[in-house]
Chain A
Amino acid sequence: MKHSIRNRLIFGTLLAVALALVAITVFVGALVRGALRDQFDDGLRAKTQELAAQIEDHDGELENEVDPRTLATGEAYELWVRGKAVAKSDDHLDLVPAPAGTRVTEVTLDGHPARQFTLRGEARVEGTDPDGAMPIVFVLARTTADVDAAAHRITLVVSGVGLAGLVLCMVIVLLVVRHALSPMRDLATAIAAIRASDLAIRLAPQTTAVELASVTNRLDELLARLGAAFARERDLTAEVAHELRTPLAGLRATLELALDRERPAERYRSALEQSLAITRETERLVESLLSLARLDAGQTGLHAMPLDLDQLVRDALDKVHARVTERRLAVITELRAVTLTSDRDKLRVVIANLLDNAATYADEGGEIRVALTDAELRVSNTGCTLTPEQVSRVFERFWRGDASRSPEGHTGIGMSLTQKLVELLGGTIAVEVDGDRFVATVRLPR
């Protein structure tokens, strides 16, 4: 399941902002209501005390001078003396004093929420009272409708401001997130613009976002690897084209010249023989290239069977016999009987390539040495002029000691094919120069 970074950022941020705003609204509302109530209570207390002060103990006689007209609407009072209700502002309304010790309580006044102040004390004594001051309980109740309405209004205003803030925040967050994510869009555009022909482009310098650096760096590494692979592929294709064009050019020139005018039969014969030889050579090249391509693609299977390695080497030696004789090469063999389980056809190609190389690159009248011990085959030839640096490159495709098709018929892929095959057989191949000797050593698993 794919998710959107943008949506996550937006919803996450908005959720946090909304929670903060709700908290602020609740807190401010509570604060305002508290302040309003304190103010209300202060006013209630003051008025209660003021009214209570008008109750006098006049020589033992209660003198209630509370003027009902001083009461505002939504206010009511009641007076108890010695536990007996003696006066109230409204006959229909019964107030209940709060228990001793409490002063402000919440009550209902005529069905409306109200707060009342309960004052316990003594009436002010005017003159003398032998019984002592009269204990009185004076209660003043006032509906909280006004203050509740004010608190409600303030809550509304605060919530409205909060909501507006939330909307504004949403817009800002949307814009910020969109802007913040723009490097990602730019990166996507830059990636989309990359063509196979232009892998030299690098993304890291194009992006300014630190967070994307790790991504762009990895991408750039990938591009570099891709570019190298493409370049190798291009070089290889060019090399293959070159390798195929050269024999084609030879074939064409030979045939064109033969057909240029009437010629004696033997001229035609030699031209045809020449053409056939070129065709065979090209065929071998194409076969090698195909084998190499299949090996590269991992499409080559192994058919292992028990075989006599020394016999394979002897067979291969027979095949280069003609060239060995022609080039007056001395062949020194030292073959032990070796039996192992491996792929006969592939081993045959490996051995043939090694002997072919030796017979081709040995100096005229030089020497080839073939030694087989256990699972190690060592083929060497004299007349090697390669430097150790050059020798390390013999496995490169189309590499030749002198950057050319020389000697004739050698394409420069034999050694890379040999190496690939040996690796497929689970063995190793190493080459070195020892004086004027080129030495190739193949080790195969038993």
Chain B
Amino acid sequence: MRVLVVEDYSPIRIAVRDGLAEQGYAVDVASNGEDGLWLAEQNPYDVIVLDVMLPKVDGLEIVKRLRAKGSQVGVLMLTARDTVADRVTGLDQGADDYLVKPFELSELFARVRALVRRGYAAKDPVIRVSDLVIDTVKRTVRRGDTPIAFSPREYALLEYLAIRAREVVTRTEIWEHVYDFRSDAQSNVVDVYVSYLRKKLGQPPLIHTRRGYGYVLGDDA
């Protein structure tokens, strides 16, 4: 899942970026509203963590403009203002959720996960595809009764395929949702990782190739 963090105060920006990255997210950051808006318009983020008070273009304006252009991205607002009026304004402007500073990182992670699920119309944090069970909170994977360990990048790819199970997922979509700007840009990296996943998931095969389109996890009916 790919997240954009727009926050001008560097200690928060860095901690949230590193924390989310450790949680397996592909994370891009922006330190002002202008850059944030540009990134948000260019990339299909799953969630944007957005500070309200930003230089150049403020957070409320960013949400308004994104929504005006039909963006469905999940938006979690961060603010130091906690009056009801402030929260109402943020939500009415099109934000999905709200977190008041100072916040606990684990709560921010939970809210980001919830927004990701909402983006894919999933309520259950546990994804089941045939005998594959993915716990998106603990970030653990089982096939049948056998736990399988994945690297963070492998897990991220598997989670993305699983949340869109039984759909054809293109390489571009994988690239856009699993990799951030800091990732190595090798054209076959997706195929390489898919082969890693296939190897670890074992038999019978769960990931199918749709030649010319992309991949499907589970059976596309």
Chain A's closest residue to B58 (CB) is: A403
In the bound complex, CA of A66 to CA of B203 (Å)? 168
Is residue A100 within 8 Å, beta carbon to beta carbon, of the partner chain? no
Secondary structure call for the A interface = helix
Chain B's closest residue to A275 (CB) is: B11
Is residue A53 within 8 Å, beta carbon to beta carbon, of the partner chain? no
Chain B's closest residue to A278 (CB) is: B11
Chain A's closest residue to B18 (CB) is: A257
Interface size on A (CB < 8 Å)? 26
- A117-125, A131-139, A240-248: which lies at the interface: A240-248
In the bound complex, CA of A245 to CA of B10 (Å)? 14
Is residue B83 within 8 Å, beta carbon to beta carbon, of the partner chain? yes
**Chain B residues near A146 (CB, 8 Å)?**
none
Q: Once the chains bind, are A252 and B53 in contact (CB under 8 Å)?
A: no
Chain A's closest residue to B78 (CB) is: A249
Is residue A405 within 8 Å, beta carbon to beta carbon, of the partner chain? yes
Q: Using A245-B102, A248-B101, A257-B18 as known contacts, say yes or no to A406 and B80 having CB atoms under 8 A apart.
A: no
- Distance (whole angstroms) from the CB of A106 to the closest CB of chain B: 96
- Distance (whole angstroms) from the CB of B76 to the closest CB of chain A: 14
**Chain B residues near A402 (CB, 8 Å)?**
55-56
- Distance (whole angstroms) from the CB of A120 to the closest CB of chain B: 111
> Could you tell me which residues of chain A, from 374 to 432, have a CB within 8 Å of some CB in chain B?
402-406, 408
Q: Once the chains bind, are B105 and A257 in contact (CB under 8 Å)?
A: yes
Q: Once the chains bind, are B11 and A256 in contact (CB under 8 Å)?
A: no
In the bound complex, CA of A243 to CA of B19 (Å)? 23
> Could you tell me which residues of chain B, from 1 to 59, have a CB within 8 Å of some CB in chain A?
8-12, 14-16, 18-19, 22, 32, 53-56, 58
> Could you tell me which residues of chain B, from 93 to 143, have a CB within 8 Å of some CB in chain A?
100-106
**Chain B residues near A241 (CB, 8 Å)?**
80-81
**Chain B residues near A408 (CB, 8 Å)?**
8-10
**Chain A residues near B81 (CB, 8 Å)?**
238, 241-242
Instruction: Bits for A268-305, please: 1 = Cβ < 8 Å to B, else 0.
Output: 00000010001000000000000000000000000000
In the bound complex, CA of A152 to CA of B194 (Å)? 131
Q: Once the chains bind, are A257 and B53 in contact (CB under 8 Å)?
A: no
In the bound complex, CA of A436 to CA of B101 (Å)? 36
In the bound complex, CA of A246 to CA of B81 (Å)? 10
Q: Using A238-B81, A402-B56 as known contacts, say yes or no to A250 and B104 having CB atoms under 8 A apart.
A: no
Q: Using A260-B19, A402-B56 as known contacts, say yes or no to A252 and B102 having CB atoms under 8 A apart.
A: yes
**Chain A residues near B15 (CB, 8 Å)?**
250, 253-254, 256-257
In the bound complex, CA of A246 to CA of B52 (Å)? 12
- Distance (whole angstroms) from the CB of A245 to the closest CB of chain B: 4
In the bound complex, CA of A406 to CA of B9 (Å)? 8
In the bound complex, CA of A251 to CA of B103 (Å)? 10
Q: Once the chains bind, are A257 and B19 in contact (CB under 8 Å)?
A: yes
Query: A242, A248, A249, A257: which has the most chain B beta carbons within 10 Å?
Result: A249
Chain A's closest residue to B51 (CB) is: A404
In the bound complex, CA of A241 to CA of B83 (Å)? 11
Query: A246, A252, A256, A261: which has the most chain B beta carbons within 10 Å?
Result: A246
Q: Using A238-B81, A249-B80, A250-B15 as known contacts, say yes or no to A256 and B105 having CB atoms under 8 A apart.
A: yes
Q: Mind listing 17 A-B residue pairs with CB under 8 Å?
A: A241-B80, A242-B53, A245-B80, A246-B101, A248-B102, A249-B9, A249-B12, A250-B9, A250-B10, A252-B102, A257-B15, A257-B18, A257-B22, A260-B22, A274-B14, A404-B55, A408-B8
Q: A residues within 8 Å of B by Cβ?
A: 238, 241-243, 245-254, 256-257, 260-261, 274, 278, 402-406, 408
In addition to A403-B53, A403-B58, 19 A-B residue pairs with Cβ atoms within 8 Å of each other are: A243-B80, A246-B9, A246-B80, A249-B78, A249-B80, A249-B103, A251-B11, A253-B15, A253-B105, A254-B14, A256-B19, A256-B106, A257-B22, A260-B19, A402-B56, A406-B8, A406-B55, A408-B8, A408-B9
